[in-house]
Amino acid sequence: MSELILERIEQKLDILLNSKKHRINEKRYITAKEVEDLTGLNHRTVLNRSNLDDQNPRFIPSIQFSGSRSKYFERKVIERIFHL
């Protein structure tokens, strides 16, 4: 019986994770929180790495739109960096 319960929980988790990933992938630019969802890397680490020198191998490129204080990351670049 416990195996059946675990299987149902796994199926529900798969559905939730896949739907969240699908929503994220629809956008060209994503936030640090969304990068965290995709990669598992803490969003603060993502933001800190975006402040590194661009020659640093841990650098993550970001973009800021005019009038916004938030940093965004191009989804294709994140996928390439993290081999997603």
The amino acid at 72: Y
Q: Which residues pair with 74 in a beta bridge?
A: 29
For residue 48, name the pLDDT band (cuts at 50, 70, 90).
very high
- The chain-wide mean pLDDT, for the chain, equals 85
pLDDT, tens digit, 9 for 90 and up, residues 10-27? 887 777 666 655 555 568
pLDDT of residue 15: 73
pLDDT of residue 59: 95
Give the other-Cβ count within 10 Å of 62's Cβ: 20
- Cα-to-chain-centroid distance, residue 53: 21
pLDDT of residue 10: 84
pLDDT of residue 66: 86
The 3-state DSSP class for residue 62 equals coil
